Amino acid sequence: MAKQNQTLGEFIIENQGEFKYSSGELSRLINSIRLAAKVVNHEVNKAGLVDILGAAGDTNIQGEDQQKLDVYANEAFIKTLTNREIVCGIASEEEDDFITIQGRNKKNDNKYVVLIDPLDGSSNIDVNVSVGTIFSVYRRVTPEGTPVTLEDFLQPGNRQVAAGYIVYGTSTMIVYTTGHGVNGFTLNPAIGTYYLSHPNMTFPENGSIYSVNEGNYVHFPQGIKNYIKYCQKEEEDRPYTSRYIGSLVSDFHRNMIKGGIYIYPNTSKNPEGKLRLLYECNPMAFLAEQANGKASDGFTRILDIQPKELHQRVPFICGSKRMVEKAEEFMRDA
Ligand code: AHG
Ligand code: MN
Ligand code: MN
Ligand code: MN
């Protein structure tokens, strides 16, 4: 049960029994993520004061210019998770390949793999706009005692045991699920503790916000073009409000609280879509469904897609259930 003013530490202990596999490992894993998030938060907060803004000078496997904070956050999460020897493998948006962690006495006896987008919305760093971190946790499928393989990471999203995000916004929040609803915790920076501020978060069934990079309109599929026209039409409760931050985490967070839909379709420039299935769409889809929302690629439930490669991209439509269903209807009819 979620209790107001509970700390995240207390909440994790109290709800340990709810985890499907309650060995305590998953609790320790969430604990490590919350710790790494504090480290990254500290760095994000002083961006602008120290030399952490701007490009790092490298390109990641996605073909994107890495920002210094992309690299910093990636290292902070990997280091924290590796040092604590809780997971057997990590895959990250910023790494070409997955990382194997042998753990205590090189026994490969840890059970979980983590997939992360260490810094989401990195184009917003230099202009002091909210960024985030997204994480996704699976139980490995290959036998314990052996090093992880690609198979452990290429699991459909419906196999996730936990997922969440951190939003470094006006306040820093960690929002996560272990398959028993979604809870949000806000960091009190003075004492470094997260408090349960948003128990049992849910998307309103319907909403009035649509979030899409409309600059790409001419490159959108016809179904999405038609849905956008529908959002803008003066009829019933429309036109809707348009809000697009350009950080998936922040756009999702706002839409979950206020009611809305986020769309990143395939475009002629990105024929598979832009967002990454494993680091962005699956964790957000798991959270959305746990919060009474919905996530789709336009035709198929995101969580049912069988991944074929680590850095796979996918079109993404996510948010209030009735809005996502409406967008799917336009996709079908186009
Ligand atoms: P990342 O910073 O992790 O590479 O992700 C960027 C993503 C997502 O956060 C955001 O919603 C989207 O890219 C914005 O893309 P556009 O600038 O093309 O709208
Ligand atoms: Mn990136
Ligand atoms: Mn991202
Ligand atoms: Mn990123």
Q: Say if residue 321 is in the same domain as residue 241.
A: yes
| In a shared domain, residues 146 and 269 | no
pLDDT for residue 22: 56
Strand order in the sheet with 182-188: 99-100, 87-92, 112-120, 131-139, 162-168, 172-177, 182-188, 193-198
Using a 10 angstrom Cβ sphere, with 0-12 exposed, 13-18 middle and 19 or more buried, the burial of residue 324 is: buried
User: In the prediction, which pLDDT does 47 show?
Assistant: 76
Could you tell me the residue range of the domain that residue 329 belongs to?
209-333
Q: Is residue 3 part of a domain?
A: no
The count of structural domains within the chain is 2
User: Is-contact 96 85, C-beta < 8 A?
Assistant: no
Considering 151, 176, 198, which residue would you say is the last residue of a domain?
A: 198
- Asked if residue 190 and residue 79 are part of one domain, the reply reads yes
Check whether 280 is labelled as a binding-site residue. Answer: yes
For 94, 128, 143, the CA distances from 53, given in Å and listed in that order, are 17, 10, 42
What CATH number is given to the structural domain containing 47? 3.30.540.10
Phi (first) and psi of residue 123, to 5 degrees: -70, -10
Note whether 12 and 130 are same-domain residues. yes
In a domain, 222, yes or no: yes
Would you say residue 32 lies in a domain?
A: yes
Probe ligand 1: pick from 65, 77, 250, 274, max atoms within 8 Å of CB?
274
pLDDT tens, per residue, the chain with 334 residues = 556 679 999 998 888 776 655 568 888 899 999 999 999 999 988 877 777 788 989 999 999 999 999 999 999 999 999 988 889 999 999 999 999 999 877 888 899 999 999 999 998 888 999 999 999 999 999 999 999 999 999 999 999 999 999 999 999 999 999 999 999 999 999 999 999 999 999 999 999 999 999 999 999 999 999 999 999 999 999 999 999 999 999 999 999 999 999 999 999 989 999 999 999 999 999 999 999 999 999 999 999 999 999 999 999 999 999 999 999 999 999 9
Atom index in ligand 1 nearest the CA of residue 62 equals 4
> CATH code at 252?
3.40.190.80
Considering 165, 198, 231, which residue would you say is the last residue of a domain?
198
Atom index in ligand 1 nearest the CA of residue 121 equals 2
Q: Residues near ligand 1 with C-beta < 6 Å? A: 64, 93, 117, 120-123, 213, 246-248, 274
Residue 202: CB atoms within 10 Å? 15
At 18 the pLDDT is: 65
Q: Is the same domain home to 105 and 163?
A: yes
pLDDT at 3: 64
Look at residue 45 and tell me if it is in a domain.
Answer: yes
Residue 13 pLDDT: 85
Instruction: Say yes or no: 176 and 65 in one domain.
Output: yes
Instruction: Based on the fold, state whether residues 161 and 276 are members of the same structural domain.
Output: no
- Whether 78 and 144 map to the same domain: the answer is yes
Closest among 208, 216, 171, 226 to 193, alpha carbons compared: 171
Tell me, yes or no, whether 277 lies in a domain. yes
Residues 157, 15 share a domain? yes
Are 192 and 218 members of one domain? no
Report yes or no on 2 lying in a domain.
no
CA of 95 to the centre of ligand 4 (A): 11
pLDDT at residue 15, as a whole number: 84
Atom of ligand 1 nearest to the CA of 215: 19
203 within a domain of the structure (yes/no): no
Among 130, 164, 198, the domain-final residue is 198
Query: Is 1 within the bounds of a domain?
Result: no
Do 190 and 313 lie in one domain? The reply is: no
The ipTM value here is: 0.98
User: Do the annotations mark residue 328 as ligand-binding?
Assistant: no
In this structure, the answer to whether residues 149 and 258 fall within a common structural domain is no
